[in-house]
Structure formats: structure tokens, C-alpha cells
Amino acid sequence: MTAQRHPDLRVIDCDLVVIGGGGAGLRAALAATVADPSLDIVLVSKVVPMRSHTVAAEGGAAAVLREDDSFEQHFEDTVSGGEWLCDQAAVEAFVAACPRELAQLERWGCPWSRRDDGRVQTRFFGGMRVQRTWFAADRTGFHMLHTLFQTSLRYPAIRRHDEFFCTNLLVDEHGLAGVLGIDIATGHPVLYRARAAVLATGGAGRVYAHNTNAGIVTGEGMALAARHGVALRDMEFVQWHPTALPGSGILITEGCRGEGGVLLNAEGRRYLEDYGLGPLEPWPRPRAMELGPRDRLSQAFWHEDRAGRTITTAQGNAVLLDLRHLGPRRLAERLPMISEVARRFLGIDPVTAPIPVRPAVHYTMGGVATDLDGSTTLPGLYAAGECASAGIHGANRLGSNSLAELLVFGRAAGEAAAVRARSAPRPGEALAAEARACMAPWYAMLEAAPAAERPRVATLRNAMHAAMEDGVGIYRDAEGMARACEALAGLRAAYRDGVALDDRSLAFNTEWLSAIELGHSLQLAEVMAHAALARRESRGAHQRLDAWRARDDAGFLVHSLAWCAADGPPRIEHAPVKLTRSVPRERVYGGAGERVALD
């Protein structure tokens, strides 16, 4: 072990660490500093904040605005969209807070698209019965993140440490005591000693091969919390977005359908009417069809594909998203980025030709179990955004609820963490020794001799992708899920035995960092597969092809909770869902068409 391999630990004291510079992290940091300007806040992120996945969000953010809408309707759409697996008190608090948060962004400078009379414009989104989605053309995430980022620059108490890769959380007898990781530029270890941390590390879509997520969306935050005994909730619920480009997985926003785009199969038919999805009412009040919820639309694609009614492209089978009838002016005004993506990546002009699309993994409905203020069972640890499960998405998230969620629960977590950071005792000196011990395995990875028999990161990652696509897909059965569990256990064991790294340097060693990411992703993939196997019913995004094809409210109107072990499979338990006023009933989106029989 050379001195270069074991650079000394840098210890930095602060009051609060926010891990993640996406929408949730920036909102949390802002809330904390506004609540208590005396706090010393460090915001760490493995990429510069503007490269967080929030920047890629396209379609919009939900909040009641129009006269024909109400909190009651937003609540009902969300709870039925989540097939009654939502915690209803959380949804009530959420829908009531959304308008305030989106208006706050407006005050900070977010350029929401406007109606002719100057009021904020809204569009339809899937599973929402009225126009509720605020947007900034089809670059909503970019504008929201920019607004939050530029606002954060006005608060010097928020110290940024960009390109810091968090590897461990440290805990003492009082709870969270520190955040440990690697300064990516130098490869040196850094410990932030603090009494409170907000995890805002985003989702885990990259555990699948075909996804819409940025390469950094590998789910570390969830795994870091799980390693300290915090439960991961509802991880079996993975959202496939019905319209991504085949091959690349680039998202084609639901906003396209919100603007009136239609989906056609290989026969040129709007096939969704065969799947109990309408049409209920004529445009401009389309309750379903293309504006049905994402789980149902992705499942419909699966059936069409199996029936041979998809078109073949070089990157796999697809259906067609037709936007031609919207006309060049509306496309340029409302969907400029989508038009550019279609032209650049497919050579297709949506003004004159439909866009081939297919489902891709998009969103992690589950996450670190939190209360409404973002608190977890580990004192001092808070979580918000896609890495968290505040309980609002249930078995299927409605599009545009997530961007609003980042703001509502990011703020709540920031405010609660500020109180804790002010009141809890400072971590002791002994923490640095523990941090050095925690870093040792990461540096050992760099030093391990290249062994021919050690697998490469990409080999294990590809095998993880294959196991998830094969066994934990849009439709699942016991055999496939068990196969995935077994494959993932083998991959975790292989990972523990060591991976082969070519790059031994410290500075900007992305191979090393992706090896660390992979360990976390493998753990989450295993949780998803086990939680799925344990849910013996079909609900929302979890659909089974075996004996458990029906929803079972008597047995499974419950959250899954997963506790992870350092080695060995996770322990899965179930806990009641908190209902307030919406009684579970059949989830109907209208239309006479029956869903195609499964066999």
C-alpha cells in the first residue's frame, strides 16, 4: 500500500449535508438555509448539479390551478392511479402543497409556459382527468433545475462540493454522524461530520438495460440507507414509460400525448381502445386512451407485441406515436425538444412522419421509507425525491407528480433536517478512525492485482441487466422472478470476490466509481426481485402471469418493506397502507374494450 493509494482523510465539520444536487437536493438545501440562515450546509453531488437527472425531465409538474380542478380530484387521480397502494394522508398533504411550491418556483424565476392572457398554461397528462400539468415547453426539468440552482447561488451558507462521490454513511449512538466519500478530482477520501443529512440521490432505473435514465441514476442513496437498517419500501414497483425511443431509451414525453398525440399499432389502429382505455369523452376532455396511466399503456404494448401487431425497427419492435395532426406551429411551440430529438436521433420529422416508440424503465416508485417530513428510522437521516418513498405513488406513479414531489418533500426534508442539525450534539473525534476503516475496502479495490478470473464491471452489469429484464419485467411470474433472485445472488457473490479494474489511478477514475456504483445497484436489483416475488397478486406496475393475476386487497393491500443484509438475500415484510377517505374499488379508465386475455 503506497501513500498515493491511501491518501489521508480530510475531515470537514458542518451542520447539514445534502447528498444530491438534483431537484430534491437543491430544494432541501434552500429550505434548510431559509429556515435557519446560521446553519453551515454542504451540498455534495457526484456531478455538477445541472447535470442531475432532473435536468432531463420534459413534460411538466402537477398542481391544481384551473377552476375545473380541485385538491379532491388530484387526490383521487393519484390514489386510483397508484391502485390504492398510496398512503392517503401523504397524498392529501402533497396535493395541497403542490400549487404553493410551483408558485414559489415562479417567484424564483421559472419560465412556465403561458396562456394568451398571461396566466400559467397547463396540459393533460396520463391518468389525470383535467389539465393539471404546468410546463415550460418540453424542457420543464431544465428550467426547474436551473431556477433552483441559480437561487441556491444567492445563499452563501450552502457550500457546494461538486463531483464528490458518497460511498458511506457513518452512524454513532445518536444516529447519523457523517457522510463519507471520494473527491472525484483527486481520488482522496473526505469525511463530512454532521448531525443531519438529506439523501436526494434519485432513482435506480439503471439496474435495467432499457431505460430512460441518465447513466448516473444507479440508486446508491437507497443502498447506503439500507446498509444502516433503514427499510426500502415498495421496490417491486418499477415504472415503464410507454414511449421511449427503441434502443437508446431516450424519452418521448407524455406531454406529446397530452398535446393530442396518438399511438398506432402496425395496422394503423389506435389499439388502446382494445384495452379498456376509452375513449370516454371526445377531445379536449380525453380521460383515457393515450392519456391512460403508464402501467396500463406499457402492458398494452406488451400484448400488441406478443400478438405481432408492432412494427420492426433495427433497435427492436415499436408502435408509432403520431403527432402530425398537431401541425408545425404547435410542435415548435409546445414540443420543440421532442421534435429535435426525433430529427437528430432518428432522422424523422414529426411534422411529416410518426415516431417509433416502445416502453423503457423510467422511474423507481419505491425507495427509502420516510415520514411526511422526510425523516427515516435512522435519527438524523432524511430522504426526498425519487430515492425516497413518502408514500404518494403507490403501485404506479402518475406522470408529472414527481417533479412536484421533489419540491414538496424536498422542502419538508430540508426544514426537518435543519431543526435536527441545530439541536443534536456534535459528532465525536472517534468518527475519523471509523471513516478510515470504511474507506479501506474501496482503496483495496484499486490495489487488487488484476486477476484473469475476476469479472469486469461491465460483465457483471450486463448480467444484472439481463436478470432484471428477463425476470422482473412488465409481466412477471414466480419462475422468472426466482431465476432473477438466484442470478443476482450469484452476481453479488462474484462482486464480493472482487472485480477487475484496469485503471489504478486516483484522479477521475470513473472505472473505480462505476465499480462502487455496481455494488449498490446489485443490492437494489436483488431487493426489487425479492419484493416482487413476495407480492402474490397483480397491482399497478406489478403484473403476474402465474396464479396471482388478480389484485388481492384482502391479502396484499400492503406496502412491502425490505431490509438488506451485507450478504444473503433481503428480508421482506409487509405493512399496512394508510387509507383515509378513498375506499379501494375497481380501477377503471373507461371504454368498452376488454383487456386481451393472457393465454
Name the residues that contact ligand FAD, by CB under 6 A.
19-25, 44-47, 49, 52-54, 56-61, 140-141, 164-166, 181, 200-203, 212-213, 216-217, 220-221, 251, 363, 385-387, 399-403, 406
Q: What is the DSSP letter of 82?
A: T
Nearer to ligand FAD (CB atom), residue 26 or residue 272: 26
Cβ of residue 451: shortest distance to ligand FAD, in angstroms?
27
Q: Are 383 and 370 in contact (CB under 8 A)?
A: yes
Of residues 53, 257, 296, 411, which has the active-site annotation? 257
CA pair distance 178, 157, nearest whole angstrom: 19
Nearer to ligand FAD (CB atom), residue 63 or residue 572: 63
CA angle at 367 for the pair 97 and 338, rounded to the nearest 5°: 70
Cβ of residue 94: shortest distance to ligand FAD, in angstroms?
12
Nearer to ligand FAD (CB atom), residue 435 or residue 487: 435
Chain position carrying cell 430534491:
24
Spatial strand order of the sheet with 196-199 comes to 158-162, 41-45, 16-19, 196-199, 381-383
The Cα-based distances of 546 to 239, 366, 476 in angstroms read: 20, 23, 8
Chain centroid to Cα 562, Å, comes to 18
- Residues facing residue 361 across a β-bridge: 211, 240
CA pair distance 298, 447, nearest whole angstrom: 45
Cβ of residue 322: shortest distance to ligand FAD, in angstroms?
21
Nearer to ligand FAD (CB atom), residue 406 or residue 491: 406
Q: Identify how many contiguous H helices and E strands the chain contains and give both numbers.
A: 15, 24
Closest CA to 364 of 395, 391, 386, 393: 386
Q: Are 577 and 87 in contact (CB under 8 A)?
A: yes
3-state percent helix, strand, coil for the chain, nearest multiple of 5: 40, 20, 40
Nearer to ligand FAD (CB atom), residue 360 or residue 424: 360
SS3 of 307, please? coil
Q: Are 205 and 528 in contact (CB under 8 A)?
A: no
Chain centroid to Cα 9, Å, comes to 32
Of residues 129, 132, 160, 241, which has the active-site annotation? 241
User: Which helix H or strand E contains 164, and what residues bound it?
Assistant: strand 164-172
Cβ of residue 378: shortest distance to ligand FAD, in angstroms?
17
Nearer to ligand FAD (CB atom), residue 30 or residue 489: 30
**Which set of grid coordinates corresponds to residue 564?**
438488506
Q: What is the DSSP letter of 387?
A: G
- Is 542 one of the catalytic residues? no
Chain position carrying cell 443502498:
223
3-state SS of 33-58 is: HHHCCCCCEEEEECCCHHHCHHHHCC
Phi, psi angle pair for 375, to nearest 5°: -70, 150
- Is 241 one of the catalytic residues? yes
Cα-Cα-Cα-Cα dihedral sign, residues 27, 29, 30, 36:
positive
CA pair distance 552, 308, nearest whole angstrom: 31
Cβ of residue 314: shortest distance to ligand FAD, in angstroms?
22
Cβ of residue 298: shortest distance to ligand FAD, in angstroms?
15
- For the chain, the straight-line distance linking the first and the last C-alpha, in angstroms and rounded, comes to 60
Nearer to ligand FAD (CB atom), residue 223 or residue 485: 223
Cβ of residue 191: shortest distance to ligand FAD, in angstroms?
14
Q: Are 175 and 169 in contact (CB under 8 A)?
A: no
Give the number of other CB atoms < 10 A from CB of residue 525: 27
Q: Burial level of 118, CB count in 10 A (0-12/13-18/19+)?
A: exposed
Cβ of residue 464: shortest distance to ligand FAD, in angstroms?
17
Cβ of residue 504: shortest distance to ligand FAD, in angstroms?
21
Nearer to ligand FAD (CB atom), residue 48 or residue 575: 48
Query: Which residues belong to the active site?
Result: 241, 257
